[in-house]
Structure 1
Amino acid sequence: MLDPDDTHQADLRSGTSPWHAGLPRPPGEELNADTRCDVAIIGGGITGAMLAEHLTARGLQVVVVDRERAGFGSTLASTAMLQWEIDLSLRRLSALYGFERAADIYRRSFRAVEGLRELIVRLSLPCAFHARDTVYLAAGEVGPRELADEFALRQRADLPGALLGHELLLREFGFDRAAAIVSPGSAEADPLSLCHALLAQAAMCGARFVRDEAVAFDGLGRSAMVALAGGRTIEAGHVVLATGYVMPDCVRTDLHRVASSWALATAPQQPQAFWRGRALVWEASEDYVYCRTTSDGAIVIGGEDEETDDVERRERLGPEKTQALLGKLAALVPGVEPTVAHAWSGAFGQTEDGLPLIGRVPGQPRLLAAYGYGGNGITFSYLASRLIGALIEGQEPSWFAHFSIDRPDPARP
């Protein structure tokens, strides 16, 4: 259990989560002179760690800048449900962008989880990674008919899964809901251990880590520049902004907003409390709850989201939200032992279309960014590392436009 009290990071999350540091993270240095590199990554959380590992493996000189302890910001608040299903159903995404584009996005998210699994296995990263099915439950206005429509679209897109009615769902999983879609291909992990394992791998490949605050960026020249609060500068071929939910003023979009979410982890449960395969579980309603298990036998449940980034309000609502989540967990899993071992909350960025903001910062060709992950944080972190890596190498296939920072707001005519 880790709950560091860094000033800036307390704005991103509150309480204590159950995650562990795993491998020692590389120590941060203080620059005593200006420096140069191929890529400067601003932010040492899970996205920055994915980028650092990927870019150093490709032979680039990388400097990672973080004003706090790497991994102890938004990453520590993650529930690390590594799903390929995104916040907007395929049905709703198809209504916004058409079936072909929506299906392509879903398939790329599916491959992102598979790519992350292959990376973790290949590098033997210690992060409590386990492949899991997902159970997507009928809830709210989404009932059996809507789930059947969603399932038909997934079949058309060649996405795996099965549609379960009430009787089969209750018999197989113990969930008393009208219907569900059960799908393979997702996973769970300890996000802090994964972050630090990736940073350690990047360090072995030559990455440097600087403990300072980036206060200004310039991506207009023949090289990019980062000004640090300590008075030094970093000159780089490209600068990547991976600062979690702290979006700098130079990144402007009408699609993004910051909200708050709450989560808890129970004490370890008896084996009979768990459902089949310890699948990841989430609801099909707009304001959904989601749950998973941990390697030490706890159950994590999260949700109760609110459209606020007010830190004091988020902390004030903590006890109320914890009780609400406990009630929802007891209704979903009647045999659960409702002892709370950890309770926490955090800010998270989301977008109108449920898709991340990844790519070049408009007007700043050497400045790249990755934001707005919604409920797919680590899945989209992996996707961002590969997309940004390709952009740095001069590759830009047409599908990158799915996630571009300056894509039009689909809600506006």
Structure 2
Amino acid sequence: MMLHNGELFWPKTYYNNYYPSLDHEADGDILIIGGGMSGTITAFTMARAGYRTILIDKGTVAGESSAANTGLLQFMSDKTLADCIKDFGEKEAYEFYHLSFQGLEYIRELCQQLPDDVEFHNRSSILYASKRRHMAMLREEYIALRKFGFPCDLLNGKELKETYGINRSMGLLTHCDAEINPYVFIRRLIEKAVTEYGLRVYERTELLNWHSDGEEVRCDVHDGHITARNVIYAGGYADNDFVKSIKKKQFVRSFAIVTKPIPENKFWAEKAMIWETARPYLYIRHVEGNRIIVGGLDDNNKRVPSKRLIHKKSRKLVRKFNQLFPDIMIEADDCYGARFGETKDGKPFIGEVPDMPNCYMLLGYGGNGTVYSAFGAKLLLEMVRGEENPQHDIFRLDR
């Protein structure tokens, strides 16, 4: 089942190099299930650490939700640090946000080793108050972030308007964020892992079942099986039997447009990434070639949207952008909708499957999934090495 519909932009920015399907028995130290963002970063991390690593995907690498990923990289999550403190306590809230900050740094490090076509650019982000009553929330979040040393500034309405052209009452400006071409990033990282670290990749190879005997894990696929010491499921937003035991998940769908190019002088200051306090929120980012991504209008429905609904939502996204920037005329070039996953407590799922030794999951559910994937890969490396870390408990699957 496809997890998206419409005209996708990112796959048009890179050639498709296909990998073979598995038609024989194979074995390795670590098997990764899923060739999206989570699976790719994890496979690279494991292979670089010296493990004989295999990655399989039932479709193609970066072919599902990663192809619809909007490529905003932020250390802030949809759930604010202030709300995390209220729900989890200061220590766990800080650990969550600090790991997100480190995850973004890890992606930055990886991109320095990859060609420029991954389009990684350091950016600041503006979280503006959608309504005046949201100003108190922004002040509270600013205080929480500053207390723990996260880089941010609070802008009043005049500063927000004069610097960024946004006519709203207040904005929280965070630094050390970034934008990326997620599709090319995945492709390039896979290529590097294959050529430099011996990663084996098999597309059109679907996991049917997995069995752990406590020492190794046997995974059945259509035309063979794979035996590995450790298996990591990173199947993205697929809703299947492998994730049915995850209780706090929920699937939603989101919509986005990629505009036709606009003149360089029409962009706001620093080409900062933009989002808002309303839920669901609007988000805006620059794309190479002077395009803009405008996304949002999420709804609580896991069905992949029809093209008719996608075009309706696209027209609304254009209107919402023009309400924010009335002097910038945009026209949608591509528009699409896709399923994404969220969690009820705002944290991703990372850890060992209960009662299945050596079987793990990395489910980067939430609005910050790429960053979750990055720090999750490092946590999983600790787990397969047998290293103890109290942070592992924060994201356990049975919480």
The two structures have a TM-score, normalised by structure 2, of 0.95
Cα separation, 2, equivalents of 1:50 and 1:21: 22
Per the TM alignment, residue 269 of structure 1 is displaced from its structure 2 partner at its CA by 0.8
1:153 is aligned to 2:153: no
Structure-2 residue corresponding to 1:261: 254
Residue 384, structure 1, aligned to residue 376, structure 2: yes
Q: Distance in 2 between matches of 1:220 and 1:147?
A: 50
**How far apart, in 2, do the equivalents of 1:115 and 1:337 lie?**
36
CA RMSD of aligned residues (A): 1.7
Partner SS state of residue 143, structure 1: helix
Which of these residues, 194, 198, 211, is aligned with residue 206 of structure 1?
Answer: 198
Task: Summarize the Cα distance change of 1:350–1:258 in structure 2 as closer, same or farther, 3 Å threshold.
Answer: same
Residue type at the aligned position of 2:216: S
CA distance in 2, matches of 1:158, 1:201: 34
Contact 1:23/1:197 (8 A) holds in 2 = no
CA shift in 2, pair 1:306/1:41, >3 Å: same
**Superposition pairs for residues 2-401 of structure 1, below 5 Å?**
8=1, 11-20=2-11, 27-124=18-115, 126-140=117-131, 143-204=134-195, 205-211=197-203, 212-230=205-223, 232-251=224-243, 252-311=245-304, 313-401=305-393
Instruction: Give the unaligned 5+ runs of structure 1.
Output: 1-7, 408-413
Q: Residues 318, 307 of structure 1: CA spacing in aligned structure 2 closer, same or farther, 3 A cutoff?
A: same
* 1:273 to partner: Cα distance: 2.1
398, 401, 405: which one pairs with 2:397? Answer: 405
Q: Is the 8 A contact 1:357 1:370 kept in 2?
A: yes
**Cα distance in 2 between the residues matched to 1:196 and 1:170:** 39
Task: Tell me by how many angstroms 1:17 deviates.
Answer: 2.3
**Deviations 1:280-305 (CA, angstroms, capped at 9, x unpaired):** 11111221111101011011011000
Structure 1 segments of 4 or more deviating over 3 A? 20-27, 122-126, 313-316
Residue matched to 1:410:
none
Pair 1:237–1:22, CA change in 2 (3 A): farther
**Helix, strand or coil for the counterpart of 1:246?**
coil
Task: Compare 85-94 and 115-124 and name the one that shifted more.
Answer: 115-124
2:253 match: secondary structure: strand
Listed one character per residue, the Cα deviations across residues 130-160 of structure 1 (whole Å, up to 9, x for unaligned) are: 0100101112475222211111111111111
TM superposition shift of 1:74 = 0.7
Please give the alpha-carbon distance, in whole angstroms, between the structure 1 residues aligned to 2:8 and 2:287. Answer: 12
| Alignment CA distance shift 1:25-1:222 (3 Å) | farther
The one-letter code of the counterpart of 2:287 is T
Secondary structure at the aligned position of 1:109 is classed as helix
Secondary structure of 2:60's partner? coil
Change in 2 beyond 3 A, CA 1:23/1:14: closer
What percent identity do the matched residue pairs reach?
A: 27
Q: CA deviation at 1:266?
A: 0.8
Q: What code does the residue aligned with 2:295 have?
A: G
Shift of 1:370: 1.2
Which TM-score applies when normalising by structure 1?
Answer: 0.92
Inter-CA distance 320–36: structure 2 relative to 1 (3 Å threshold) = same
Aligned length in residues: 396
Looking at structure 1, the residues matched to 30 and 69 of structure 2 have their Cα atoms a distance apart, in angstroms, of 26
Alpha-carbon separation, structure 2, partners of 1:289 and 1:384: 27
Equivalent-residue separation in structure 2 for 1:218 and 1:315 (angstroms): 40
Which segment is superposed worse, 345-354 or 24-33?
24-33
> For each residue in 1:61-114, what CA deviation from the matched residue of structure 2 results, as whole angstroms up to 9, or x when unmatched?
111111111111110011010111001011211111112221221121111111
Q: 1:111 is matched by which residue type in structure 2?
A: Q
- What are structure 2's unaligned runs of at least 5 residues? none
